[in-house]
């Protein structure tokens, strides 16, 4: 009887030990998986947003850098060209985001590893730094030539910031106020105040970030969208607005990418417009911005139709862009006529 009881007690103890072990063993999260990979890096680890980072790209890089540090991986954020929008600059200044122009980082070498955020290696807006692009976190469609050891590509998400915010939630980490504010603002901007391309993830993450972000700073950033110079360019550009059915067009003088996109957002807000194309003719080529509120009219398809055979373009069904290099423009043809003809042809092919 004593032996039987001892055997039962031993079995119970074994079960308790088994249970204890199962409790200690933590499930693998995306950030722990990525951090584990990056610890194998033979050189430094860099986080690279697209060349001219906007608030979503900046926030994603900032949040990821903080999380990687919590998991024992030191990293640096590098980008290619200076900010185009004033709110990006104010965001970096106000939140203490540490990032550097790649040209100023002499230590970047072939043995270093890069995590691309809010973009993918091979995109026209991601400069090749000569490092190993070992990972990518993005909310744009996966490139057909993509090859990463770690990837989290979610084209259904309205922002990359929401993806990084979920990394905090899944890992049980609490974002600092600056990080939470950056992620909330990046999410807010890329979804146009939670009205454009908003996924369930974006809505859920914005709600979860609400307890941690600085609402007053977000309000101030939203009030720093354009400069007086931008306003003058807007005033001139809005005189060029034309419509074809429910399709709007806007032409800008030599303007940066962000300004073209912002001006196009205003065109799309017109009651008479369901889809819009804004373009800027520059010395290096033609920058094109496309927006759409109509489900049948996919902005990414419209952008590709405009640049087909002479440039490159893509994006989301609601927001996209493209570029035609100057040396690819057909000789003897009006750029404006080319863009309008191709856009209208695309719409007519849909019967819209």
- Residue 277 and residue 268: Cα distance in Å, rounded? 9
H or E element that contains 322 = strand 319-325
Number of domains into which the chain is organized: 2
- Choose the final residue of a domain: 195, 222, 249: 222
13 assigned to some structural domain: no
pTM to 2 decimal places? 0.81
CATH number of the domain enclosing 304: 3.10.310.30
252, 264 Cβ separation under 8 angstroms: no
Indicate whether 206 and 242 sit together in one domain.
no
- Choose the final residue of a domain: 193, 222, 251: 222
Helix ranges (DSSP H) in the chain: 2-24, 30-38, 55-70, 86-95, 160-171, 177-190, 200-209, 215-222, 228-237, 257-268, 299-307, 335-349
Which structural domain range is residue 45 located in?
A: 30-222
H or E element that contains 151 = strand 150-153
- Residue 305 and residue 308: Cα distance in Å, rounded? 5
CATH number of the domain enclosing 84: 3.90.1640.10
Q: Give how far Cα 48 sits from Cα of 45, 60, 159, 260, 275, Å.
A: 10, 10, 16, 23, 32
Give the orientation angle of helix 55-70 with respect to helix 160-171, to 10 degrees. Answer: 20
The pLDDT value recorded for residue 257 is 86
Indicate whether 200 and 103 sit together in one domain.
yes
91 assigned to some structural domain: yes
- Residue 104 and residue 204: Cα distance in Å, rounded? 38
21 assigned to some structural domain: no
17 assigned to some structural domain: no
179, 63 Cβ separation under 8 angstroms: yes
Indicate whether 171 and 240 sit together in one domain.
no
2 assigned to some structural domain: no
Indicate whether 163 and 102 sit together in one domain.
yes
Residues of the chain with pLDDT under 70: 1-27
Coil, strand or helix at 298: coil
The pLDDT value recorded for residue 117 is 98
- Choose the final residue of a domain: 222, 251, 270: 222
Indicate whether 192 and 295 sit together in one domain.
no
The pLDDT value recorded for residue 6 is 40
Total Cβ atoms within 10 A of residue 280:
22
């Amino acid at each position: 009887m004593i032996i039987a009881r001892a055997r039962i007690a031993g079995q119970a103890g074994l079960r308790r030990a088994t249970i204890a072990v199962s409790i200690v063993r933590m499930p693998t999260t995306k950030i722990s998986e990525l951090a584990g990979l990056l610890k194998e890096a033979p050189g430094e680890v860099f986080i690279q947003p697209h060349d001219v980072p906007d608030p979503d790209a900046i926030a994603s890089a900032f949040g990821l850098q903080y999380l990687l540090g919590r998991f024992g991986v030191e990293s640096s954020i590098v980008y290619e060209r200076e900010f185009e929008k004033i709110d990006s600059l104010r965001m970096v200044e106000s939140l203490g985001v540490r990032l550097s122009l790649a040209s100023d980082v002499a230590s970047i070498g072939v043995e270093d590893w890069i995590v691309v955020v809010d973009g993918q290696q091979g995109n026209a807006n991601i400069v090749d730094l000569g490092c190993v692009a070992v990972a990518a976190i993005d909310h744009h469609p996966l490139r057909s030539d993509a090859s990463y050891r770690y990837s989290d590509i979610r084209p259904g998400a309205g922002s990359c910031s929401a993806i990084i915010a979920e990394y905090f939630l899944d890992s049980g980490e609490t974002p600092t106020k600056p990080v939470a504010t950056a992620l909330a603002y990046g999410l807010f901007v890329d979804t146009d105040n939670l009205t454009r391309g908003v996924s369930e993830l974006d809505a859920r993450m914005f709600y979860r970030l609400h307890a941690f972000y600085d609402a007053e700073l977000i309000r101030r950033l939203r009030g720093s969208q354009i400069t007086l110079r931008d306003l003058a360019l807007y005033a001139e550009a809005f005189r060029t607005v034309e419509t074809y059915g429910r399709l709007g067009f806007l032409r800008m003088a030599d303007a940066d990418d962000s300004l073209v996109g912002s001006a196009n957002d205003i065109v799309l807000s017109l009651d008479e417009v369901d889809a819009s194309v804004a373009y800027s003719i520059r010395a290096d080529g033609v920058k094109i911005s496309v927006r759409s509120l109509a489900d049948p009219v996919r902005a990414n398809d419209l952008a590709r139709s405009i640049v087909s055979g002479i440039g490159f373009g893509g994006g989301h069904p609601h927001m996209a862009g493209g570029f035609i290099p100057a040396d690819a423009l057909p000789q003897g043809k009006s750029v404006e006529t080319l863009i309008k003809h191709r856009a209208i042809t695309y719409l007519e092919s849909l019967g819209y």
